[in-house]
Amino acid sequence: MARYTPPEQSKAGQVFDIAVVVVAIFVALWLPLKLGLAGAAKSIDALDAKTWEALGQNPTMASIWEKLGYTPETAHDIIQNRFHYIIDWPTLIIMAAVLIGYFIFLFRASDREYRDVINEKFGDK
């Protein structure tokens, strides 16, 4: 197989490619953080009675909270801030499809590139 000679990249081209990578990083990862779309999906199950008992804390737990500087009022939002694990099946299926699609693309496209590498390295040996 003929040896592939890649084009030499100009300095401007290198700077452009670096910019593309930086933009991709910030758009895909930094922007969701900035827009508040990332992080834990939790919500507070508010209680009317803010006592250690109502918050499900036994005397040992209550004494530790107090040692840490909390009262039932200040601990309420920590204790009652909970995950609500409801499986949204359509979203889960879409996410699974995206992940599987990503890996299938990765392995198939990599294999095409890998054949170039092996053909050039080993030829007909």
Partner 1 sequence: MTITAEPAVQVQGDRVSLLRVLGPAHVWALGVGIVLVGEFTGWNFAADKGGALAALIVCWIVGLLYTSVAMIDSEVTSTVAAAGGQYAQAKHIVGPLMAFNVALFLVFAYTMLEVSDAILLGDTIVAKAGVEGLNHNSFIAATIVVLAWLNYRGVLMTLNVNFVITAIAYVSIVILFFSVSPWTQGAVLKLNELVTPGNALPYGWIGVIAAFQFGIWYYLGIEGTTQAAEEVRSPARSLPYGTMAGMITLLIAAAMTWYVCASLMPWEYLGITYYPLWDAGKLTGSALLENLLFIATLLAALASANGCINDAARAWFSLGRDRYLPTWFSAVHPKYRTPYRSILFLLPIALAFAFIADLNQAITFSILSGVLQYTFMSINIIMFRKKWPLGSIRRGYTHPFHPLPAIVLFCLCVVTFFAIFLGFGSQLIAMVAFYFLISLWFHFYRYKFVRRGAQFTMPWPKPQGY
Binding site for partner 1 (CB under 8 A): 3-4, 6-7, 9, 13-15, 17-18, 20-22, 24-26, 28-30, 32-34, 37-42, 56-58, 60-61, 64-65, 67-68, 75, 78-79, 81, 83, 85, 87, 91-92, 95, 98-99, 102-103, 105-107, 109-122, 125
Spell out the residues 6+ positions from residue 116 whose beta carbon is closer than 8 angstroms to its own: 4
Residue type, 93: I
User: What is the Cα–Cα distance from 100 to 94, expressed in whole angstroms?
Assistant: 10
Comparing CB distances to partner 1, the nearer of 34 and 71 is 34
Q: What's the min distance (Å) between Cβ of 18 and partner 1?
A: 6
Comparing CB distances to partner 1, the nearer of 13 and 53 is 13
Q: What's the min distance (Å) between Cβ of 113 and partner 1?
A: 4
CB distance 119 to 1 below 8 Å: yes
User: Which helix (H) or strand (E) covers residue 64, if one does?
Assistant: helix 59-67
Q: CB burial class (10 A; 0-12, 13-18, 19+) of residue 50?
A: middle
Q: What's the min distance (Å) between Cβ of 48 and partner 1?
A: 19
Residue type, 90: P
Comparing CB distances to partner 1, the nearer of 24 and 53 is 24
Q: What's the min distance (Å) between Cβ of 23 and partner 1?
A: 10
